[in-house]
Structure 1
Amino acid sequence: MALNLDTKDLGARQELERRLALATPSDTMRGFFFNGALAAVRELGDEAVKHCLEAGGETSFTGFFRYPVTAYLRVIYTAAWLLQEARGGFEAAMRHVGYMAAPPYLASAVGRALLLVNQKNPRLLINSQPTAYRAAVSYGECEIVWTGPQSGLLLTRHDFMPHLIHQGALLALFDAMGTRNVRVDGHQVGALDNEVSFSWGETRS
């Protein structure tokens, strides 16, 4: 059963502080996530990018370097707050931040290899996500549970990222493969646990 945590609560400063308090110095993630967040706010101009960099405590982020997850949380919350008016609310803004995390990853050597190996097969690409998750972050667990030939659940535990980030990233992966009739929905089901459901229809050749 999902937590009673609505969109307004998820976007509250107190929720950011709660997540920050649960993190330790050993909880880190790759820089391409940060660069995706910066790309998301670039439509608002240089000042928005500057605000996000200041929130993360860096002047730039290198794709496969590791940075504290606390810095990422501050960056994505700052980005979503800046974007929420233009994007129609905090939920849509945070999902957009997650969506924009995928292009820097897919442009990397690892991301290009995944797309090549999986040859536009969504099921194969989704099956690779636990491995990609482990390579990208130092914490938590990621699992894929299939509920049908073209539907399933992405489950994360002890995961500092809001489920909206995973929703956006999955949508971007499906788009990268030209997949049609995609549905992605998500919920927070524990203090740092997420459940994201997904399904699709067909893939363009």
Structure 2
Amino acid sequence: MDRGPVEGSTRAAGWAEQFAAWHLTERCLAATPEDGARGMFFQGVVGVVNFLQGEEAGAKCLAASGLKELNAAELYPVTRFLEMTAEVTRVLRPQLGDWEQALRYIGTQATVDFLASMFGRELMQAAAGNPWRMLQHMAEGYRAAVTYGERSVLWTGDHSARFVMRRDFMPAPYHEGVLQAALEAVGAQDVQVHGRQLSLLDTEYDVSW
């Protein structure tokens, strides 16, 4: 018996949430105690929730990480960031459409906040308004921001590149938002970013502008 489009869409949303939770849980299981990310990433994501849903929702998402307060420069276990992200996507999905859109949005907005920080201003200065420099400095700058993974850039044209991430814990849509926001911040136009998951923790992104 056909139960109608409303129940069908509700069921699909439920499966999407289960998939999202499984995806982030698998990444948590792959992490070690040495895998950490700086507090500025947590702050950026909480800031997105505060803006869209209010401070009460932001506090709830922070609580999901098991942290009570954040220091922008301090390293925290990446598993805490993933646990917080799972809650953030659950909270924002109804407003933004689906799990991938929620991830892409928080990646974009968290990057905008990051570029306004002390660390971000240094990156903007090093990029000097040049998209090529921005991508190269981003690949190098990750080493100071997280303790895991490797990033590299392969130039594929005058206005295109392939950004490769090895052993990175965030799903592809998050970094699609990150890369798009970073390039637009240095004036790149018509930015397109498409991620391909090579394995659970390895992704490559085709970037053009």
Query: TM above 0.5, one fold?
Result: yes
- The TM-score with structure 1 as length reference comes to 0.89
Asked if the contact 2:134/2:183 (under 8 Å) is kept, the reply is: no
Structure 1 residue 145 corresponds to structure 2 residue 160 = no
Match of 1:40 among 27, 48, 52: 48
Structure 1 residue 23 corresponds to structure 2 residue 31 = yes
Query: Which residue is equivalent to 1:4?
Result: none
Q: Tell me the secondary structure at the aligned position of residue 57 of structure 2.
A: helix
1:37-186 aligned within 5 A: 37-42=45-50, 43-186=52-195
CA distance in 2: counterparts of 1:187 and 1:60, whole angstroms: 34
Gaps of 5+ in 2: 1-14
The structure-2 alpha-carbon separation of the partners of 1:70 and 1:153, relative to structure 1 and needing over 3 Å to count, comes to same
CA distance in 1: counterparts of 2:145 and 2:134, whole angstroms: 16
| Cα distance, 1:112 vs structure 2 | 1.0
The structure-2 alpha-carbon separation of the partners of 1:96 and 1:142, relative to structure 1 and needing over 3 Å to count, comes to same
The structure-2 alpha-carbon separation of the partners of 1:14 and 1:27, relative to structure 1 and needing over 3 Å to count, comes to same
Q: Mark the structure with the bigger radius of gyration.
A: 2
Query: Which residue is equivalent to 2:8?
Result: none
CA distance in 1: counterparts of 2:95 and 2:19, whole angstroms: 15
Query: Which residue is equivalent to 1:198?
Result: 207
- Kindly report the root-mean-square deviation, in angstroms, between the aligned alpha carbons of the 2 structures: 1.7
The structure with the largest helix share of the pair is: 2
| Cα distance, 1:100 vs structure 2 | 1.9
The count of aligned residue pairs is 194
CA distance in 2: counterparts of 1:10 and 1:148, whole angstroms: 39
| Cα distance, 1:185 vs structure 2 | 1.0
Deviating above 6 A after TM superposition, structure 1's stretches of 4 or more consecutive aligned residues are none
| Cα distance, 1:9 vs structure 2 | 8.1
Structure 1 residue 188 corresponds to structure 2 residue 197 = yes
| Cα distance, 1:101 vs structure 2 | 2.0
Asked if the contact 2:42/2:81 (under 8 Å) is kept, the reply is: yes
CA distance in 1: counterparts of 2:89 and 2:74, whole angstroms: 23
| Cα distance, 1:111 vs structure 2 | 1.7
Q: Tell me the secondary structure at the aligned position of residue 198 of structure 2.
A: strand
Instruction: Deviation per CA, 1:11-62: give whole Å up to 9, x if none.
Output: 4322221111111110001111111111121111122112211111112221
CA distance in 1: counterparts of 2:49 and 2:164, whole angstroms: 28
Query: Which residue is equivalent to 2:10?
Result: none
| Cα distance, 1:107 vs structure 2 | 2.1
Instruction: Deviation per CA, 1:58-77: give whole Å up to 9, x if none.
Output: 12221111000000001112
